Amino acid sequence: MIEIIVNGKRHSLDASPDMPLLWALRDILSLTGTKFGCGIGACGACTVHVDGAAVRSCSFTLDEARGRQITTIEGLQQNGRLHPLQAAWIAEQVPQCGYCQSGMIMASAALLADNPAADDNAIDKNITNICRCGTYGHIRKAIHRAAREMS
């Protein structure tokens, strides 16, 4: 059995330690907000937080996740209130198909936690996820908006 803590809740999983965290979240815990995009850490759709840092969960094994604090998009809200980034995403009307946006928001949340005044260069450097709908310009605006809200 492997113990992981997801969104503050402890789970004991009967799974291979080699299984990527992504598939444990999606197929065992049915936390489907974290998306599968490429399986090799190249697109960022599966981004979650592990001890606060952005991690591509398709390339992070259960063994590595053992005992660590994992946050998914479902756990980003605090006390039923949207995270400022989620609110900014709505205010800026960012998503189109929306499939990549969980990963985008998680990557952005980790960035702002680390660098609350992230400028365009920091955004370019840290937000390397793929959006096929091309919402990048609005993601950038939403990150700046959330940063203002949080400061």
Among the listed residues 11, 98, 115, 141, the single contact to other proteins using CB under 8 A? 98
Other Cβ atoms closer than 10 A to 12 = 9
> Do residues 25 and 31 make contact, with C-beta atoms less than 8 angstroms apart?
yes
Please report, as residue ranges, which positions from 10 to 49 form the binding site for other proteins (by CB under 8 A): 15-16, 19-20, 23-24, 26-28, 30-40, 42-43, 45
CB-wise, 37 or 49, nearer to other proteins? Answer: 37
For other proteins, the closer CB: 97 or 117: 97
Give the separation between CA 117 and CA 143, rounded to whole angstroms: 10
User: In the 8-state DSSP scheme, what is residue 61?
Assistant: B
Task: Check residue 136 for interaction with other proteins (CB under 8 A).
Answer: yes
Query: DSSP label at 149?
Result: H
Q: Is 115 in the site for other proteins (CB under 8 A)?
A: no
Please name every residue paired with 9 in a beta bridge, in sequence order, or none if there are none: 6
Residue 99's alpha-carbon distances to 32, 115, 140, 148, in angstroms, are 11, 25, 17, 26
Q: How many residues bind other proteins (CB under 8 A)?
A: 60
Residues contributing to the site for other proteins (CB under 8 A): 15-16, 19-20, 23-24, 26-28, 30-40, 42-43, 45, 72-74, 76-77, 82, 86, 89-90, 93-102, 105, 123-125, 127-140
